[in-house]
Structure formats: C-alpha cells, structure tokens
Amino acid sequence: MDFETVIGLEVHAQLLTCTKIFCGCSTAFGRPPNSLTCPVCLALPGALPVLNRKAVEFAMKMALATGCRINEQNVFARKNYFYPDLPKGYQISQDTLPLAEGGHILIEVQDGNTKIGIERIHMEEDAGKLIHDEANRASYVDLNRAGVPLIEIVSKPDLRSPAAAVHYLKSLHEILVYLEICDGNMEEGSFRCDANVSLRPRGQSTLGRRTELKNLNSFRHVQRALEYEVTRQRRLLEKGLEVEQETRLWDEAQGMTMSMRSKGEARDYRYFPEPDLVPVVIDEAWVAKVRADLPELPQARRERFVSAYGIPAYDAGVLTSDRRLADYYEDVVRLCDRPKIAANWVMGDVMRLLNEDRRGAHDCPVMPESLAEMILLIEEGVVSGKMAKEIIEQMYRTGRPPAQIIAEKGMVQITDEGELDATIAAVLEANPRQLAEYRGGRDKLFGYFVGQVMKLTGGKANPKLVNDLLKKALHHD
C-alpha cells in the first residue's frame, strides 16, 4: 500500500530580550548556576509576575512576519505539571486565547512554493535546567533559564516529507534571526523543535495515528529522526499492526527513536487562566506600530535582489542568508553601482575572510566604502584583479582604504606601453622555442606568453593591455 507522510512541528524559540518574561533577571547564557534569579523566577511565596512588554512585541513581530492574526485579547494560562526544573509547579503559558493564529509561510520545494499553515503562536516562560552528576549520584538544578521568554510556533499538519519539515524549520529559523528576536542557536537550546509524524493511506483525508519526537538538537537530527520514524511506522502498518500514540526520544548515537511515554501516561495539564496577570489587550495601533518596525523579510529580499540588481538567484540566496551581510552588500552596491561584481567580491574574498575569523558582516573591517572604491579602481584599470585580491586582504587586516594600501605598497598597475613592450620583447626573446611553436599554429601558447609577462612584472601589468600589445608584437615580427 502507498502511504502518505504527514508531519506537524512545534517549535520553541527563545526571545532575545535582555530580561526574563515576568521579572527583571537577565537572560544571559552560561552564567554561574542560579546567579540570575529572584523571588519571582524562584517562585517564592507572594512574588508576583509582571509582563515584559518587549517580549510581547518580539512575539508580535514573528506573528506578523508569518501572516498570523493577532488576538486582541491575550490571556495567560497556567499549565500544571510537576518537575524539579519548574519551581512554581506550573508554567505560565497561553491556552485558549494565544497571541496569534492562522498564519503560514512559503517553503520552496522541487516544484515551486508550498504554503505551510501555522496553527498558532503563543508566549510562555522557559523552565530551568537539571544537571545530573552520575559520579556523585546527585542532581542539581540551575534556574537561570527559568522565566526566559519563549514563543511556541505550532504548524498545521501540512508537511509531507522529512525534507519539507527541515525546509520549513530552516525558514522559521531564518525569519526569527532576521527579525533579531532569537539568536537561533540550536546547541544552546534557543531554537528547539518537537516533531509529530503519522502515515495514512494515500487519498485518505483523516489523519493517521501520530507519534511525537523529542530530543532533536539539530536540523540533521530532525531529518534523521523523521526518516527513521516514517520507516518504523510504515513497517508496522504494512504488517497490519497499529502505531501507538506516544512520545518518542531520538537517540542520535543509535540512530533510532525510543518510546518515552504512551498516550495512557499523557499528562493532564489542568489549564486555567493565570490569576496573577491581567489579560493583555493588543489594539490595532500597537499592531501597526510593530508592523511598521518589521524589516524586509528574507524571501522578499531575495526576490528584490534578483529583480533590482539582476544577480543570479543563487547569489541572492547567499547574500540574503544573513541580514547584516545583505545590508553590507547593498551598501557596496549603492556606492559603486556594480551589483554583479560586488556580489562576487562579497561572496568570495569578503565572506572567506569573515568565515575564517568567525566574524559577522556587521563588524567587517573592510568598510563598504573601501570595497566599492576598489571595485571602481579595478574597472578603471588602476589595479588588476590579482592585485585586488592582495589589497582586500590588506584592507581586512588593517581597515585602511585601498588608495592608501596601493600607495604604501607601490601596487599601481603598469599601464605604460613602452615599459610593457620592452617586457614583451624580453619574454619573446627568452622563449624562442615557444615562439616558433606559436607561429606554427599552437595558439594556446598565447596564454603562456601573457603568463610570462605577468610573472616578470610581479603581477602588476594591466592584463588587457598586455593582451593587446602581445597580439601586436606577435603579428609584427
């Protein structure tokens, strides 16, 4: 039988606010355990939460970027469960009146774009972290993360393959990072995902029984875990067995999912409205203000780069993969008006140098002004492409503008025809065998002569001029 794969993802993203969602504690990562806590996030009796406005605005940004409807009435709810990393014994989350509902994003699949529905986006607080010390048979709790703001983004079951799920996840990730509301760090847990997956006979409209996969710490884990699970479920169904509705953990080392808890053990969270927080009213004026603040989103920017700058879609994809890199590129183009050449330099030498130092485009020592100037100097024939490579390296190391580096290094291109003619004559004289072969019809040797001239001039000869003069010289004799 032919089965169709159905996947829906629940994504948790930590918001990049300076302070926690209901108290003034810092959200910094990697600080000494329990140093970023207070009576509110430690859940001491009598301490009351106060909502962080910035967290709401960050969440609104994501809602608007994904075309969601923002609910005017926002109500927080208590989600009750007992676990040692949750000091209050409940998590403040949202239930029946979440921040936003009914959005979608477009993902690119083989045959064009597909719309993936977003069921809802809601705000909640993160829990603390347990550290198990097996040697000392002890467990510790670090509550620095307790109360860090999260949004949960729940997709509709619209994804039809593990690859599509990863695509969707990467798009969400890209949008969150573009909006600068999440650092997207999967290793540190700022961006986490649970995957729900089921199969159904192709053509059937009702959904099959699903499993929920946890412990997916990278895009690769998501892909592998889903692939494993699809195969596991298909084998069961093909044998006429049933898929149990359960939560399963991905074990990366063993490359398999393992049952964690079944539906029977599913938790009853006893949701009820949080009495310590008033409902938040998000009126149209507030929505409009946040909307006006949205940057151009990656997909729109990619399309604009192709249409406005006439660069290939591939280049547009690379250049917009990072918002600051795209800004950098646009600054360079604004200054030199050479979009394709600028794309080549940014994607080539600039990105290589930045990657080597794990640096972002926002603190690139090569100022956009300098790169633009260098591009124009190449075009004017003042420097050759080869010299430019050296100049850009110097600009990167010193932060100086190209004119200064050229002057200091005496790197000005040789465009003096007399000097070049003399060099060409010397090259031809030194290579009588090659010259005879060239005249005998080995046209390819032209490149060899050009190479010799470049070598003799230390790469400073203007290549175009060398070409012209060499042609003349070879024809004259």
x/- map, 40-59, Zn ion, by CB under 5 A: xx------------------
Judged by beta carbon, residue 157 or residue 402, the one nearer ligand ADP is 157
Judged by beta carbon, residue 126 or residue 229, the one nearer ligand ADP is 229
Please report, as a single letter, which amino acid is at residue 472: K
Judged by beta carbon, residue 195 or residue 445, the one nearer ligand ADP is 195
What is the C-alpha separation between 299 and 320, in angstroms, rounded?
8
Structure tokens at 417: 């025809």
Burial of 209 (0-12, 13-18, 19+ CB in 10 A): middle
* Residue of 68, 197, 230, 405 interacting with ligand ADP (CB under 6 A): 197
Beta strands in 138-245 (DSSP E): 138-142, 149-155, 191-201, 211-216
Q: Could you tell which of ligand ADP, Zn ion, none binds residue 184, using a CB distance below 5 to 8 A set by kind?
A: none
Side-chain-side CA neighbours of residue 411 (13 Å): 23
Q: Could you tell which of Zn ion, ligand ADP, none binds residue 157, using a CB distance below 5 to 8 A set by kind?
A: ligand ADP
Q: Could you tell which of Zn ion, ligand ADP, none binds residue 23, using a CB distance below 5 to 8 A set by kind?
A: Zn ion
The answer to whether residue 9 forms part of the interface with ligand ADP (CB under 6 A) is yes
Judged by beta carbon, residue 8 or residue 339, the one nearer ligand ADP is 8
Q: Hunting for tokens 């260098």 — which residue is that?
A: 374
Structure tokens at 405: 């580096």
Structure tokens at 60: 């609104």
Please report, as a single letter, which amino acid is at residue 215: N
Q: Could you tell which of ligand ADP, Zn ion, none binds residue 25, using a CB distance below 5 to 8 A set by kind?
A: Zn ion
Judged by beta carbon, residue 156 or residue 389, the one nearer ligand ADP is 156
* Residue of 27, 196, 413, 462 interacting with ligand ADP (CB under 6 A): 196
* Residue of 19, 52, 66, 198 interacting with ligand ADP (CB under 6 A): 198
Pairing label, strands 246-251, 256-262:
antiparallel
The answer to whether residue 392 forms part of the interface with ligand ADP (CB under 6 A) is no
The answer to whether residue 156 forms part of the interface with ligand ADP (CB under 6 A) is yes
Q: Could you tell which of Zn ion, ligand ADP, none binds residue 6, using a CB distance below 5 to 8 A set by kind?
A: ligand ADP
Cα–chain-centroid distance for residue 447?
43
What is the C-alpha separation between 347 and 351, in angstroms, rounded?
5
Please report, as a single letter, which amino acid is at residue 178: Y
Structure tokens at 255: 């490359």
* Least spacing, CB of residue 75 vs ligand ADP, in Å: 17
Beta strands in 126-187 (DSSP E): 129-133, 138-142, 149-155
Q: Could you tell which of Zn ion, ligand ADP, none binds residue 41, using a CB distance below 5 to 8 A set by kind?
A: Zn ion
* Residue of 40, 154, 175, 378 interacting with ligand ADP (CB under 6 A): 154
Sheet bearing 211-216, strands edge to edge: 69-70, 100-109, 112-125, 149-155, 3-14, 191-201, 211-216, 246-251, 256-262
Q: Hunting for tokens 């250049």 — which residue is that?
A: 319
The answer to whether residue 172 forms part of the interface with ligand ADP (CB under 6 A) is no
Q: Could you tell which of ligand ADP, Zn ion, none binds residue 294, using a CB distance below 5 to 8 A set by kind?
A: none
> Which span (9-17, 39-47, 117-125, 222-230) binds Zn ion, by CB under 5 A?
39-47
Q: Could you tell which of Zn ion, ligand ADP, none binds residue 318, using a CB distance below 5 to 8 A set by kind?
A: none
Interface residues with Zn ion (CB under 5 A)? 23, 25, 38, 40-41
